[in-house]
Amino acid sequence: LKVGIVWSGSVTFSANANFTRDSVPVSGLGLFSSTGLPTTVVPYSYRTGSTWRIDQRNMPFDGGWLGHNSVGNISMASTPLARGTGRIYLPSLPIEGVSATLEQPGRTSFNASAGRVGYFNGLDFQGFTTGRGSAVGMGAQTLLAGDPGPLATNRVDAAVQVIETRDLQQNGVSGYAQNTRSLWTAVSWQGLAPWADSLGSGFGNSPADKVGGMRIQANLARSEGRPSSAESLAPRDAASGVWVDAAWRTQLMQQGASVFYFQPSLRWGGDSLPSDLRGASWRGDISARQWQLGANVEISDSVSGRRGSSVFGNLFGRWRFDSRDAVSATLAARSGSFAAQSAQVSWEHKSDWGYTQWRTDVAHGSGQRVLRTGIDHAWSVGETQTLSTSLALEGAREQEQSTRTLIWGVLGTTPLPGSARLDLSLRGSHSAGDHDARFLSANARLSWPLGLGWSLIAQYTAARGKESLSPAVVSALTAATLSPQLFTSSNRSFMVALRYESRTGLASAPIGGAPGRGAGRVGGHVFFDQDNKPP
């Protein structure tokens, strides 16, 4: 059962409660291995529960300040620079507690959070399980130089964020509790590149998206951990990490580069940051109306020497023949202890029947070989309806064991009387070989506006088995930043949500401007007017 209430105007309030009851058998965590190919690690079981939260946004104060507050099952607040401007970002620790942010948009912000540490669980419907331990965090960000506009040149921003966790139980093991203090600070600069005189054309809201523009951000993180008690099994540790991200655009291409150094056991509160890794990467992208070409190169090594060095390269290209046909290809390779290679080739075709894509994926590495070929098609069934189908065949070999898998899927939406809408999806796979396995997932969602601000949503989801992951080879840094994907051997959920939404006031916005900004008309006299036209 899910209940949500939203009231919005210049100030927005929302309340949400989600109650679920479900028992799930033992499952596994699926994530990308060092080779980038799918794998399964230690078993993990959980029970879904419930979530609740109350949010308030855009409370105005004097001087253009705005306040944002949240209470319930939330994520800890963070500064804008910490939310990810490059390949590495700070994870947001889930808590059952409160958070507050006071900001002057584009200039300064302060935040604070506190609560009990937990984790969100469940697949389609999330519950929240409170774990052992508490967390407190504070942060600030301010404009040091330049104008507050997004395209301002020679703009400098600085930010700092601190988080401290106490009695946090690591890995769910009893007696393995630890106190951790983590610090992150960053400085960013945006402006003209040393070789440019002015900003040129481009898309985006940053000088790095314009020809001649550049943006650089330097980050420093440090964590210190100690046992929460003398009897604790947790080790003492201290680690630091430094990384710098830069992005710029020239007449030829959009480019980005990173350098990074992460000592072992680096953490952010109760979450892990990339650790025991150092290296550098570069990426570039060239695009035109008819074609696109991109490349990525990364060189990395272990700080402790426990793992060998690796070199990763990725090349992507796409060519559009006309308005109906296009081909694309992606090649990736990684050397070192976890050497692997992958390739993907696809052909896209638009016809009177709809949009079709043929795709073939090949991957090889560390005793694993995967070959998948399939076809996806979006059918032309009408403006208010959609229908898509998918079919693929996969052959895989791992540790001298071979499997052949048939993968299929159907997705569609259709309107119903009374402005209601029905969304349906069905996906499945069947593997035959040394180990037979089946996967089936069904999802049905009904959205029905009742009028006067009320709406009803009902959704049923069922899944059984484990879905095959798409084969891909990734770099060492990407593998270190990927979130694990949770699999369950069986899961069924039913949700009914009753939603009420109301709005008060009227937000006016000038043409080409943001809501609440100044607007008006130009009048008066123009002196030395050569064409004698009114203003």
More confident residue, 529 or 414: 414
Nearest to 264 by CA among 236, 303, 211: 303
Whole-number Cα distances in Å, 316 to 64, 259, 290, 330, 471: 45, 22, 14, 4, 16
- Terminal CA-CA length for the chain: 60
pLDDT score of 356? 95
| pLDDT at site 41 | 39
Which ranges of 22-138 would DSSP assign to H, the alpha helix? Answer: none
496 closest CA partner among 446, 426, 441, 453: 446
Kindly indicate the confidence band of residue 185, based on its pLDDT and cuts at 50, 70 and 90: very high
pLDDT of 367 higher than 50? yes
Residues 227, 169: Cα–Cα separation, whole Å? 10
**Per-residue pLDDT at 529 exceeds 60:** no
Give the Cα separation of 143 and 157 in Å (integer): 5
Give the model's confidence band at 188: pLDDT under 50 very low, under 70 low, under 90 confident, else very high: very high
Calpha distance 12→142 (Å, rounded): 25
- Of 169-173, 321-325, 390-394, 418-422, minimum mean pLDDT range: 169-173
Question: Is pLDDT larger for residue 37 or for residue 363?
Answer: 363
**257 sits in which H/E element:** strand 254-262
Mean pLDDT of the chain, nearest integer: 81
259-281 average pLDDT score:
88
pLDDT at 42 exceeding the cut of 70: no
Confidence of residue 39 (pLDDT cuts 50, 70, 90): very low
Query: Model's pTM, two decimal places?
Result: 0.79
Query: How many angstroms from the chain centroid is the CA of residue 101?
Result: 22
Residue 329 has pLDDT above 80, yes or no: yes
- Binned at pLDDT 50, 70 and 90, residue 37 comes out as very low
The pLDDT of residue 257: 93
pLDDT band at 320 (very low <50, low <70, confident <90, very high): very high
Averaged pLDDT, 433-452: 83
Residues 395-413: pLDDT tens digits?
A: 888 777 888 889 999 999 9
